[in-house]
Amino acid sequence: MNTKRPKHLALHQIKLPLPGIVSILHRFSGALLFLCLPLLLWMLQASLRSVLTYAQLLEILQNPFSKLVLLGLFWAFLHHLCAGIRYLLIDLRYFSTLAGARLTSKWVLFVSLGLTMVMGLKLW
């Protein structure tokens, strides 16, 4: 091999294709959902324990910061769901071409962000 390879890979110069970005966001959203699972379980417990804890939870959720956190969790769930369905379809040999991968990546982003906006409008 006569080609000169770089000794150090410049990660800031690499441009990921859209399917790569969707893949990274799928992993990030899964990790976010896993890490926020105790919070979600606490919210479920507070909503079911008594009328008083339910009222306290509603008061906490009226805070705009809490609404933003919930909106972020909605996005994480919806993106993880849409990307998971995309990967299942790719495993079943649908959309396994490069053009299909790019098309489904656009749809995953469009659908997950669109559904998140709908949930955000209902939340506020």
Range of the domain at 87: 18-123
The separation between the first and the last C-alpha atoms of the chain, rounded to the nearest angstrom, is 61
Would 5 be classed as within a structural domain?
no
Would 52 be classed as within a structural domain?
yes
Q: What is the pTM of this model?
A: 0.85
Would 107 be classed as within a structural domain?
yes
The pLDDT profile of the chain, 124 residues, written as one tens digit per residue, is: 567 776 777 777 888 899 999 999 999 999 999 999 999 999 999 999 999 999 999 999 999 999 999 999 999 999 999 999 999 999 999 998 999 999 999 999 999 999 999 999 988 8
Would 53 be classed as within a structural domain?
yes
Q: What does the pLDDT read at residue 96?
A: 86
The answer to whether the Cα torsion of 76, 122, 86, 104 is positive or negative is negative
Half-sphere exposure of 12 (CA within 13 A, CB side): 0
Count how many domains the chain has: 1
Would 8 be classed as within a structural domain?
no
What's 63's domain CATH number? 1.20.1300.10
Integer Cα distance of 4 and 23 in angstroms:
30
Which amino acid would we find at residue 77? F
